[in-house]
Amino acid sequence: MDAENLHYFEKAPIAKAVAHFAIPMMLGTSMSVIYSILNAYFLGTLHSTAMLTALALTLPLFAIIMAFGNLIGIGSGTFISRLLGEKKYDDVKQVSSFAFYSSLVLGLVVIVSGLPLIDQIVHSLGATPDSFEFTKDYVTVMLIGSPIVILFFTLENIVRSEGAAITSMIGMILSVVVNIVLDALVIFVFHGDVIGVASATVISNLVASLFYAFHIGFKSQFLTVSMRCFKITKDILSNVFKIGVPVFIMSVFLGAMSLIFNHYLVEYGDQAVAGYGISSRLLQFPEFILMGLCEGIVPLIAFSFTANKLRMKHTIGFTIKTIVALAVVFGVVVYLISDHLIGLFTNDPQLIEMGSYILHVTFLSLFISGMTTLFTGIFQATAQGTAAFMMSIIQGVTLIPVLYIANRMNGFHGVVWSLVIADAAAFLVGAIMMYALRTKLQPELDKLVQ
């Protein structure tokens, strides 16, 4: 961690510090969404609803693979930021080495356990007869490439944890640019389809992972990928998994919720699934902007939690105001041009109508989901394992019964609105736990003010 990063951790004005950590993450995550949208766009040029359906159906699998990366990456990253705040630099090397090699091992486990069950996985994703083969092709490539995908998410997190926010952003943007170029080559030059698009994702993650590994090996003062620093200790396992496991469970729940949601939508036809796939990708753009804001400041909050809790409080307050402003701006834009946005991907009038409706409804919870992400990030940064675990399961626990009841009572409309209800429940639980954390820390904050 160089002097500039240390300045932003410790002394820079709150707005500048938040901007330093959050803007690169926001740009990186928004580029990831652009890639996701362009994936759908490139496949959409082939005028195959079955391919678009396959792309939507495989979102839960990608969420689960990403969950393994977050299990190690976020768990290790928040621990590294806290260790930096305590100036325990040798421990940082051990944690970063542990993160690198354990990510590769987890990827191999996914390959060995997933490939023999490929047909069962495709069926469980809800593939229809028309989309089965396309879905299987995508799943096969993603399983084989899972060590690379997991490593990418892990390295991005630990690079950001030492304050190298711009380096983290460059890696994410590099991944997206490579992916877009490869997608264009696959579709327009080599006339490929789903296999090529999935392969482009894995290759782009490999390129970004190599970039991160180069930074860690040659430019980072404290992080390392050296096997000599690799250790498995009780302290490392406890601190990494205390935060990583809730993050993993949350990611798996998101994948499971998407899977269950797709199963309900299949009852209303491929157009409903494809419409949700398109609208969810469009919704990801503002969601990931807010996610980039909230996740970007996690290292700052984690560092401040061990070094300066009053600075942590001011950081959180400024972030909440920013979430409100961004949610309002994005909401106005979407409600004005939603039909045109869906029309970029299809000329099917029914698909445009369904996608626009889903987009309108799900956008109602944009502010709520932004705040929920912030709550989760705060609990991760401050090592509140129980609260992080509660946040990881509440939305899934709420969505499943709500989805069943809403579908029985109001059909397709009930299915769509169930997402908003689940988000609201997660927000309320998070707000209650945030109040409890604030009450717990208030005596210490009062002393700092005095």
pLDDT tens column, 5-42: 677 787 888 999 888 888 887 877 777 667 666 777 77
**Which value, to the nearest 10 degrees, does the dihedral of the CA atoms of residues 423, 425, 430, 431 take?**
110
Burial class for 282, CB neighbours closer than 10 Å (0-12, 13-18, 19+) = buried
Residue 73 has pLDDT above 80, yes or no: yes
CA distance 432 to 200: 43
- Kindly state the average pLDDT of the residues 333-346: 77
Does position 250 have pLDDT exceeding 80, yes or no? no
For the chain, give me the number of helices (H) and strands (E)?
Answer: 17, 0
Residue with tokens 């609208």: 279
Under 8 Å between Cβ of 304 and 318: no
Task: Tell me the per-residue pLDDT of 409-418, one tens digit each, with 9 for 90 and over.
Answer: 888 888 888 8
Task: Look at residue 448 in the predicted model and tell me its pLDDT.
Answer: 57
Tokens 């990928």, located at residue: 225
| Phi and psi, residue 344, nearest 5° | -70, -20
Residue among 79, 54, 37 nearest 385 (CA): 79
The pLDDT, as a whole number, for residue 449 is 54
Please enumerate in sequence order all residues whose Cβ is within 8 A of that of 9, keeping only pairs 6 or more positions apart, or say none: 1, 17, 84, 85, 163, 299, 300, 303, 304, 307
Of residues 297, 277, 261, 279, the one with CA closest to residue 165 = 297
Coil, strand or helix at 129: coil
Block residue for tokens 């996610």: 291
* 179 within 8 A of 200, measured Cβ to Cβ: yes
Whole-angstrom distance, CA of residue 93 vs CA of residue 173? 26
pLDDT, residue 381, reads: 82
pLDDT tens track for 391-404: 777 866 787 788 88
Q: Which helix (H) or strand (E) holds 171?
A: helix 165-184
Residue 157 CA to residue 240 CA, distance in Å, equals 12
What confidence tens digit (pLDDT) does each residue in 121-167 have? Answer: 888 887 777 778 888 888 899 999 999 999 999 999 899 888 888 89
Measured CA to CA in angstroms, residue 196 lies from 185, 186, 247, 392, 430 at distances of 9, 6, 30, 33, 41
Is 115 in contact with 196 (CB distance < 8 Å)? no
Two tokens, residue 286: 């503002």
In this structure, the number of other CB atoms found within 10 A of the CB of residue 269 comes to: 17
- pLDDT at position 154: 93
Residues in CB range of 191: below 8 A, 6 or more apart: none
How many CB atoms neighbour CB 129 within 10 A? 7
- For a pLDDT cut of 90, what percent of the chain falls above it? 16
402 close to 434: Cβ distance less than 8 angstroms = no
For the chain, give the number of residues.
450
- Please, what's the b/e burial string for 86-107 (b: 16 or more CB within 10 A of its CB; e: otherwise)? eeeeebbbbbbbbbbebbeebb
- In 9-36, which positions are buried (b, 16+ CB within 10 angstroms) versus exposed (e)? beebebeebbbbbbbbbbbbbbbbbbbb
Whether the Cβ atoms of residue 114 and residue 121 lie closer than 8 Å to each other? yes
Provide the pLDDT for residue 265. 78
The per-residue pLDDT for 53 is 73
Question: Which pLDDT score is estimated for 97?
Answer: 93
